[in-house]
Structure 1
Amino acid sequence: MSHPSRLSADQSGITEAARLLRQGALVALPTETVYGLGADARNDRAVARIFEAKGRPSFNPLIVHVPDVDAARAYVQWTRTAEILASAFWPGALTLVLPLRADSGIAPLVSAGLATVAVRVPAHPLAQALLREFGGPVAAPSANRSGQISPTTPDHVAQSLGTRVAAILDGGPCPVGVESTIVEASGTPRLLRPGGIPAEALEQALGHPLAIRDGSEAISAPGQLRSHYAPAETVRLNAADWREGEATLGFGKVAADLNLSPSGDLTEAAANLFGHLHTLDATGRPIAVSPIPMHGLGAAINDRLSRAAAPRD
């Protein structure tokens, strides 16, 4: 497979990435969570290229990335919940789902025809620099083929997408390693997807518990497909022991092919999750995974693993 060009993490690379976005091309950019497959969120044809490159269902909405709260207000109807959470966690691994402004100019494909859109202010300095250089909203799902393991390094992007992406802005490994937490921030605040910011921290900022999305509801935000983040082989969860022929992914004091965190640190485990899944997937063997605690970032890790292990549609 041919590989896309790599752009350096300096002003020349940022300038070239912004130029490509203005031309309607796709550019992979680093965020603190995972690499995003970026396109001008106002350009219908560019956004359509995201779906084509990923093989992504058109009913699955995208996240719009902007540099700051003022930029977000230009595209969505702001709420008190949004103000509280943005003040506490932006820039950062939090996405807010809010009603679209009538004059937003966001391409309809971005929101999958919904009246709301998911918006985030990323903390990664290269993402921030690119957004400011580009001067507009960037729609950016994870930079991989739809349903596959999310990319946390430039090599992951190149291996999954090849020249479906024009260029990769090379920011090295992503420090958080799982996607952003998504919260519906109009009406009653609801957790739509666990992610890089634990629900407990969000609830502390709000002063009350979050409502939880009913799994039977229609898709309202990215990352809600039942089978997602999936390796080529099967994934066995909560494995108390290993079976012959399995590639093993441990947590805590467990002997395994790879260990998310030998010390049981959930932050370290989240950062290692997708990279370790990529490595084990390359072995061509079924993958078995140790039990992961459900508190803090463990909720996001277990969410990704349960989707990786779900029956393929």
Structure 2
Amino acid sequence: MSASEHQAAEALARGELVLLPTETVYGLAADAGDARAVAAIFEAKGRPRFNPLIAHVADATEAEAIAVFDGPARRLAEAFWPGPLTIVAPVRDRERVCDLARAGLDSVAVRVPGHARARAVISAFGRPVVAPSANRSGRPSPTTFADAVEETGFAAAAAVDGGPCAVGVESTVVSVLDGRVAVLRPGAVTREEIEALIGPLDSGGEGHRSPGRMAVHYAPDSPVRINAEAAGEGEILLGFGPHVGDSRWSLSPTGDLREAAANLFRRFREADREKPAGIAVSPVPAEGLGEAINDRLRRAAGFVG
């Protein structure tokens, strides 16, 4: 049964965990300043503690209460919040986002989610919440309420049903540190959109400041083969574009990248339930949102490079 925003906020205030919908994926949320609650997230997910978490806040004013924003950070926030962009900036308030949530770093990752129910819970709670994807570590992120409950519902005192996630892949993570701006994790806000706003991006970046950077991540139980032209014996082919494979399994029959992103993790889970010999995935263009889709596919296949 779905909890109300008020019930979810009360659970957070008691130091308990909550399943929280966002526009990207469902999160397993806790008070960002409560080290015991944050530790319970790591335990429930089986997540390594060197992997920092994202602090979710209700608005940009709350973001600047915990992070030090410069001009580029403010321009990014004004352009893309509420929405699927995370900004990594120097930490201002180390108590409201505890050391464990930040993996001991001097930076903090922060975003204002685009989902109205998520912001309502955060507003009712009154403090930042960390909300990594509500999957067990390494698994595909849940993009439906049922999948979130199946993955980590056992650990949550309350669960908020926000419907299917509109975006379907995790937020873009951008570091804004020492005058340099770099994409640490591709997501729904594309590299091209960011560069159009603030100019060329730094080619480096410190990946350890972002979640979602492990070599094997987002992986279903079945082995994943990417850039496949056809399914092998016993495999299910996740097609992309017209006339590619069975339409039931297509990421997007029309070749729409936003549709493909919204369907990616859902198709992984649906295919897994069939217990195939493997999951083959058709080539997906790498431009725009395709950069994020291909990043998730490479990590699901255990190949990053």
Residue equivalent to 2:166: 175
The answer on 1:293 being equivalent to 2:285 is yes
SS at structure 2 position matched to 1:53 = helix
Task: Provide runs of 4+ in structure 1 moved above 6 Å.
Answer: none
Of 208, 216, 229, 1:227 maps to: 216
Q: Are positions 1:237 and 2:231 aligned together?
A: no
Partner of 1:126: 117
Question: CA–CA distance in 2 between the matches of 1:307 and 1:158?
Answer: 24
Q: 1:255 aligns with which of 245, 256, 259?
A: 245
Counterpart in 2 of 1:283? 274
Distance between the aligned counterparts of 1:144 and 1:201, measured in 2? 29
Kept in 1, the 8 Å contact 2:153–2:159? The answer is no
Q: What residue in structure 2 maps to residue 139 of structure 1?
A: 130
Contact map agreement 1:76 1:104 (CA 8 A) in 2:
no
C-alpha distance 164-288 of structure 1, shift in aligned 2 (>3 A): same
Gaps of 5+ in 2: none
Quickly say closer, same or farther: Cα 1:103–1:118, change in 2 above 3 A. closer
Structure 1 177/213 Cα, relative in aligned 2: closer, same or farther at 3 Å?
Answer: farther
Structure 1 residue 205 corresponds to structure 2 residue 197: yes
- Please state if 1:34 is matched with 2:25: yes
* Alignment partners' CA distance in 2, 1:212 and 1:34: 27
Distance 1:164 1:284 in 2: 26
Q: Which runs of 5+ in 1 are unaligned?
A: 1-5
User: 2:160 and 2:194 mapped to 1: Cα distance?
Assistant: 31
Q: Is the 8 A contact 1:192 1:212 kept in 2?
A: no
1:169-224 Cα deviation digits (max 9, x unpaired): 00110001111000001221000000011110011011x1222446xx66221111
Q: Is the 8 A contact 2:96 2:127 kept in 1?
A: no
2:263 corresponds to: 272
Q: CA shift at 1:105, angstroms?
A: 3.0
Give the SS at the match of 1:50: helix
Provide the residue aligned with 2:79 in structure 1.
88
Match among 22, 32, 52 for residue 61 of structure 1: 52
Partner of 1:3: none
SS of equivalent to 1:37 = strand
Alignment partners' CA distance in 2, 1:92 and 1:153? 18
* SS of match in other structure, 1:267: helix
Count of residues in Structure 1 that have an aligned counterpart in Structure 2: 300
User: Which of 297, 301, 305 is residue 297 of structure 2 equivalent to?
Assistant: 305
Q: For residues 24 and 62 of structure 2, what CA distance do their matches in structure 1 show? A: 21
Distance 2:207 2:184 in 1: 11
Measured after TM superposition, the shift of residue 104 of structure 1 is 4.6
SS in 1 for 2:220: coil
Q: CA RMSD in A?
A: 1.5
- Name whichever of 98-107 and 225-234 sits farther off: 98-107
Distance 1:198 1:42 in 2: 30
Contact in 1 for aligned 2:45/2:137 (Cα 8 Å) = yes
Could you tell me which residue of structure 1 aligns to residue 41 of structure 2? Answer: 50
